[in-house]
Amino acid sequence: MYTTPTCVYCKMAKQFFQEHNVQYEEVDVARDLKAREEMVKKSEQLGVPVFDIDGKIIIGFDQQELSELLGIT
């Protein structure tokens, strides 16, 4: 999960993951410039959050799509 410290949707996503016991790795692209480049390359855009779930890229906190991909009902 690519985030910035100020991004509200990142906070919402983290809370959503915690509620559903989903483990995730968080990368702060405000500090980590290499990770930012990686995120831009993967998502071809500049917004956060971006999720990489086994190679499937999701841009923005799309609760429905994340739920479907992660099997959350």
Partner 1 sequence: MIDVLIIGGGAAAMSAAIYTARKKLNTQIVTDEVGGQTALQPEIYNYAGFLDKDGHQLMQNMRTQVSELGVPIVESTGGVKKVSVREEDGKEVFIVTDNAGKTHEAKSIIIASGKKPRTMGVPGEEKFSNKGVTYCATCDAPLFSGKTVVVVGGGNSGLDAAMQLTKYATKVYVFESNEKVKGDQITQDKLAESSMVEIWTNIEVKEVKGEKFVSSIVYKNKTTGEEKELAVEGVFVTIGMLPNSDFLKDICDLNQWGEVMINPKTNATSHVGIFAAGDITDVLEKQTVIAAGEGAKAALQCYKWLQSR
* List of residues contacting partner 1 (CB under 8 A): 4-9, 11-12, 15, 29-30, 36, 44-48, 59, 61-64
Kindly state the smallest distance separating residue 49's Cβ from partner 1, in Å.
Answer: 9
Kindly state the smallest distance separating residue 8's Cβ from partner 1, in Å.
Answer: 5
The C-alpha atoms of residue 44 and residue 4 are separated, in whole angstroms, by: 17
Q: Which is nearer to partner 1, 24 or 37 (CB)?
A: 37
Kindly state the smallest distance separating residue 10's Cβ from partner 1, in Å.
Answer: 8
Q: Which is nearer to partner 1, 1 or 36 (CB)?
A: 36
For 1-73, list the strands marked E by DSSP.
2-3, 27-28, 50-53, 56-59
Contacts of 31 (CB under 8 A, 6+ apart): none
36-8-61 Cα angle (round to 5): 75
